Amino acid sequence: MTGTVPLLEHRKPRPVTLVIMDGIGYSTEELGNAVAAAHIPHLQWLLSNCKHITLRAHGTAVGLPSDEDMGNSEVGHNALGAGRFYPQGARLVNEAIASGFIYEGKGWKRLVRYCRENNGTMHFIGLLSDGNVHSHIEQLEAMLKQLALVEKLPAARVHILLDGRDVGETSALEYVDRLESHLSRLNGEAGVDYRIASGGGRMKVTMDRYEADWDMVERGWKTHVAGEGRQFLSAREAITTYRREIPGVIDQDLPPFVIADKSGTPVGPIRDGNSVACFNFRGDRAIELSRAFDEEEFPYFERIPRPHVAYAGMMEYDTEAHIPRNYLVEPPHIEHTVGEYLSIRGMRQMAISETQKYGHVTYFWNGNRSGKIDEKLEDYVEVPSDRVPFEQRPWMKAAEITDKTVEAILSGNFDLIRLNYPNGDMVGHTGIFHAATIAVETVDLCLGRLMEATKKAGGILLVTADHGNAEEMYEIDKKTHEPKRYADGRVRAKTSHTLNPVWFIVFDPSGGDCIDFDPGVSNPGLTNVASTLLQLLGIKPPEIYDPPLLTFRKDS
């Protein structure tokens, strides 16, 4: 902490509303910047008339291995809710692999033992890239090497989910070729039979989240487990064929495929006596697949076949519901979140977003735990998302979120309201610039309504983001400072998150206080927000939190 913590005790604004503009970061670069290109009068007014700073939202500031790692929604919302950073999945798994601890754990040993006892095959399912948001190809390669050269397990299959979202939009073949070379080396050195068995784009199969579309998981089950679907001789053939047949398709949207031999027999369906590891370390898009393997009572789709397997996730994805039952690396154990502190003090909270980000302001915010902290004090509101491509409806459900939030602000029932507008991130991931500008303009329009409601209620509005995305929509050549282009002249879209900071804006329309940013807080980041929320609510933040951002004085 930096000295004493001044509190806003002489006026207690209600509610404090925290707006998380998901994927809307700050960049001075205008080329490819959908935020700069958008018509955003409300955001511009806030930046011109209100106190604001920028916060670090990537790399080591949010618990990632290095400052070359872009921010993401998991670590961003963990940091916002926890008030300090925890070493996150990417770093924890790297350390477990480097030390060999992962291979000494009961999760790994169980998978290997089950294969040995049943003469079974080890299967790996996960996102194939080095995006380091959900997974990293180096971690998969290390486990395959251990399996072949140390465990000497004779057969393994990999079911690959293609990224194009946290990495370049059409970079899949780079990772497929790299994995094929790695498997070929292992097969030659150890005399094993390791192959790619199936795959598909991450937004088409397997990696649904928050139960937005269980059909994705069912397609994944049919593809990976049953070995059903369109067949190809290799993953490269599948990708190049789909790209030829669907001009302009990007990796995340590629249809599912099954690898089969020349006789038409799938090379790697999952069968009785096999082991299965999900090598994603991030939880939101791995929970539903884990439930499909683990749960006896399962109403979402018929699992045909349902083989007897040993299953483990890379981590325990939900530390409260204990999903999955078995895992390879201990997750971060996030305790004493800001939601817990407010509940202990009897303060009323509301969390709201649409399905695509609902778990971000609940599950991730609360330290990767599902469910409420206090049923009597908390309202969680999920606005069902549309099942359409985001670029076709870039406004998403922002208006509905705003309707309910305005009502909550004016109700006088809440001390803290937190909401997430997914538009900048979900539409930014599509790589379609015009749609991203509309997404940003949608959020701006909604900000105007929240500002008016905050004025009427006598509250305070805080505006920030969890990471950047929409402010960098082009891949830029570092030498020429021009957009990279495909052979046909089209600009190469950037679909991933960024390394940019995010705004933190304080809108206090009552004018009863003069709010400043504390110059003693150096290198502020998302972890400083939780103590700032407590500060605004008249509660001294705990010493374990990173310091609050604000100072106050009474007007003379």
| d(C-alpha 66, C-alpha 63), whole Å | 8
Q: What are phi and psi of 270, to 5 degrees?
A: -90, 125
Kindly name the residue from 27, 48, 73, 556 that is annotated as catalytic: 73
Q: 3-state DSSP call for residue 294?
A: helix
Tokens for 73, please give them.
């929604």
* Cα distance between residue 321 and residue 314, in whole Å: 16
Q: How many CB atoms lie under 10 A from the CB of residue 83?
A: 27
Tokens of 78: 């963990």
Among 511, 533, 532, 408, which residue's Cα sits nearest to residue 16? Answer: 533
User: Cis (ω within 30 of 0) for the bond into 15?
Assistant: yes
Instruction: Retrieve residue 251's tokens.
Output: 């990796």
Write the CB contacts of 82 (distance below 8 Å, at least 6 apart in sequence): 334, 336, 337, 338, 367, 527, 530
CA 86 → CA 9, 78, 134, 372, distances in Å? 31, 8, 16, 21
3-state secondary structure of 494: coil
Is position 510 annotated as part of the catalytic site?
no
- Helix (H) / strand (E) element for 19: namely strand 16-21
CA 136 to mean position of chain CA atoms: 14
Element spanning 329, H or E = strand 327-329
Rounded to the nearest 10 degrees, how much is the dihedral formed by the CA atoms of 415, 19, 505, 553? 0
Q: Give the chain's length.
A: 556
> In whole angstroms, what is the distance from residue 474 CA to residue 129 CA?
19
Residue 248 main-chain phi, psi, to 5 deg = 85, -5
Report how far residue 246's alpha carbon sits from residue 343's, in angstroms, rounded to the nearest whole number: 51
Cα–Cα distances in Å, from 102 out to 110, 143, 153?
12, 9, 17
b/e burial code for range 492-521 (CB count within 10 A of at least 16 → b) = bbbbbbbbbbbbbbbbbbeeebebebbeeb
User: What number of other Cβ atoms are within 10 A of residue 247's Cβ?
Assistant: 7
- Best CA proximity match to 525, nearest among 471, 461, 467, 469: 467
d(CA 70, CA 132): 8
Give the Cα separation of 424 and 82 in Å (integer).
23
Q: How many CB atoms lie within 10 A of CB 87?
A: 14
Q: Is 431 left (phi over 0), alpha (psi -120 to 50) or beta?
A: left
Q: What is the rounded distance in angstroms from the CA atom of residue 454 to the CA atom of residue 409?
A: 7
Residue 22: both structure tokens together: 């998901």
* Catalytically active residues, by annotation: 73
